[in-house]
Structure 1
Amino acid sequence: MSEESMAYSASTIVVLEGLEAVRKRPGMYIGSVGERGLHHLVFEAAERALDEIIGGTTTRVEITLTDDRDPAGPRAVHFRFPGGPRDHIAEQTAAALHPDVIGFERECPEMAGTIEVALRWRDTGEDCVASYANSRPTTGGGTHELGFRDGVAAALTAYGREQQLLSPSDPDLTPTHLGPGLTAVVSVKLDHPEFEGPIHDRLGNGPVRACVAEAVREHLTAWLHANPAQAATVLARTPKISRD
């Protein structure tokens, strides 16, 4: 390749105006060109519209979505959950280790918001935790998801030691080693959410972690004591020795 063909200067730069840049490199702006990216666009549009209303710029907002796909093309079917996270987890009945869906709602003034959690262990090889903040999917995780894992680890460790399922020499279970098959939905509603990351897919509110951890620890501990047989099944799948 000649030096001429490899030359790079200001004349090589192409400035894309307006939406042309988004159409050219959509992944840079919405993180995905698939379903996740579409959801992100919808949430961005709704969020900016609400900002306009809150800021007093307008009192009415209309959002129109146009489907440019081939009318004869396939469509994905997406199931809805009127009962919230409990319904979401309840629908995933395949290979459930225990019949109960563990779920609760709680208001937490310390984080200026509410918490809703549902979880169940399934006989699968991987865990699956979906998190949301103000109904917005937080695929990058965040403080609510970290708090959930903290709370589960604390509850299982305390119960395991109490029932002598963990020996005194065994270390505490860690938030990253909670046993395969943990399936959960963690949803928080906040007065002032703080989103982080290039596409705002991670929750950053500091007080949320402690609030969610304490709520999960309390409710999961109560469920473990009320359901010893199911608790033993769950603990049997949890590594007795795990490291961060």
Structure 2
Amino acid sequence: MSETSYDASCIQVLEGRAAVRKRPGMYVGSTGERGLHRMVYEVVGHALAEALAGHGDTIDVTITADGGVRVVDNGRGIPVEVEEPSGKPGIEAVLTELRACTIHSIGICVVNALSSRLEVEVRRDGFRWTQEYERAVPLAPPARHEETTETGTTITFWPDADIFETTEFSFAILSLRFRELASLNKGLALSLTDERDTTHTVRHSYEQGAQDFVSHLNSRNGEPIHPTVIAFVAEDEDITISVEIALQWDTSDSESIHSFANSIRTDEGGTHEVGFWTALPEAFNAYARQEQLLPEADDDLTRDAIGRGLTAVISVKLDDPCFEGATRTRLGSTATRTYVQKAVHEHLTAWLNRNPTEAAAIIRNATHTHTRTRTRTRTRTSDSDAP
């Protein structure tokens, strides 16, 4: 998804910081470890939005020796000119007001509101700019420094111990999430460095995208029923939506579905999952009837039968996602359901016809009668599930 411009006119003020500090759980999910790490994800999401818009391809995250987190990107840099109607410099407006912007989420302001201290550095318009905050209050106007040809934003924040139950970041949790993000965004290089105790760095970059994600997830499950990870990407420029899907079946009884909208985990599903699950039985039943892999007298394969042993990644990217709830765990964009359903049906049908041996193996698995009671579980993406 590309943007033609990104300047102060993109910014619309919604609320101040008081509501965030009063009810932090509404914005980051909790004041425990989950909410603490959500702070990092929000800042990384700000940088990732630049990459999705075609501006920047590198994000470097560091857990600093004194317990803060620094996120560096090579995007365009936050606008520095005065924006209307607040009359504030763009940096200050973005960091002190909840807002709806054409590119970025509200998260960067939320992070500032829930931090005891935050420092921002912007490389834009030929200069380096800096500003510091304490609990979202600017200590001084943005300061202009030396000239530079570089562009991008660096945000360093220290979570407020008066808000959070813990301020200790987990390298393992962050690394797993960043591997997940890298696999969902081909061409993105995302690194994590820990400067506490001894310095340690990991770097993530994946060329096969969601296909790599499914391969990793299935490496810990049963034996694959078919060797090829089914993967495809579809895009509609008219409605500015793209979908990337990867799926593979194995011999386990569990169903593992991982869905995302603009790389945000949609743990409660939404319209993209509805479209996926509408198309999957349709495509398999049509193929099974066509190839006479189901007796005429038998009923169609059910959704549960087809889901047995399935690991799937469903990733959609759209310009104006509609999420249900402030924590954005369920996608409500109505057009997404129709588009995903159409894309899955077309691409899966084509794959089944090209790969009859593997297709038959999947259908046999769905029709197989287990002698033991099947316990169907729905595995949502958690920190331990990332690639």
Name the TM tier (shorter chain).
0.7 to 0.9
Q: Deviations over 1:131-173 (max 9, x none)?
A: 1111111111011111111221111110111122223343333
Q: Does 1:69 align with 2:69?
A: no
In 2, Cα distance between the equivalents of 1:86 and 1:32?
Answer: 32
Corresponding residue of 1:193: 321
* TM-score calculated relative to the size of structure 2: 0.49
Greater RCO structure (CA 8 Å; 6+ sep): 1
**Residue pair 2:258, 2:312 contacting (<8 A) in 1 also:** yes
Choose the corresponding residue for 1:220, options 319, 333, 348: 348
In 2, Cα distance between the equivalents of 1:101 and 1:107?
Answer: 20
In structure 2, the CA distance between the partners of 1:166 and 1:158, relative to structure 1 (3 Å rule), is same
In 1, Cα distance between the equivalents of 2:240 and 2:267?
Answer: 22
In 2, Cα distance between the equivalents of 1:110 and 1:163?
Answer: 36
Unaligned runs of 5+ in 2: 1-17, 50-77, 85-89, 92-121, 123-152, 160-166, 184-205, 370-387
In 1, Cα distance between the equivalents of 2:358 and 2:318?
Answer: 33
- The alpha-carbon deviation at position 225 of structure 1 amounts to 1.6
After the TM superposition, which of the residue ranges 161-170 and 121-130 deviates more from structure 2? 161-170
Q: Deviations over 1:38-75 (max 9, x none)?
A: 5544455567898x96x9562566533448328xx884
In structure 2, the residue corresponding to 1:230 is in which secondary structure?
Answer: helix
Corresponding residue of 1:93: 219
In structure 1, the residue corresponding to 2:366 is in which secondary structure?
Answer: coil
* TM-score calculated relative to the size of structure 1: 0.74
Percent identity over paired residues: 38
In 1, Cα distance between the equivalents of 2:31 and 2:350?
Answer: 43
Corresponding residue of 2:358: 230
In structure 2, the residue corresponding to 1:164 is in which secondary structure?
Answer: coil
In 1, Cα distance between the equivalents of 2:305 and 2:23?
Answer: 42
**Residue pair 2:243, 2:340 contacting (<8 A) in 1 also:** yes
Q: Give the letter aligned to residue 155 of structure 1.
A: A
Choose the corresponding residue for 1:208, options 329, 333, 336: 336
- The alpha-carbon deviation at position 37 of structure 1 amounts to 4.1
Q: Deviations over 1:73-123 (max 9, x none)?
A: 884552453232011012233521111011111112464211111111111
Unaligned runs of 5+ in 1: 1-15
In 2, Cα distance between the equivalents of 1:32 and 1:169?
Answer: 52
Q: Which structure dedicates a bigger proportion of its chain to helix?
A: 1
In structure 2, the CA distance between the partners of 1:66 and 1:201, relative to structure 1 (3 Å rule), is same
In structure 1, the residue corresponding to 2:360 is in which secondary structure?
Answer: helix
Q: How many residues align?
A: 218
- The alpha-carbon deviation at position 32 of structure 1 amounts to 5.3
In structure 2, the CA distance between the partners of 1:124 and 1:200, relative to structure 1 (3 Å rule), is same
Q: Give the letter aligned to residue 93 of structure 1.
A: S
In structure 1, the residue corresponding to 2:156 is in which secondary structure?
Answer: coil
User: How large is the RMSD of aligned CA atoms in angstroms?
Assistant: 3.4
Q: Does 1:106 align with 2:239?
A: no
Corresponding residue of 2:256: 128
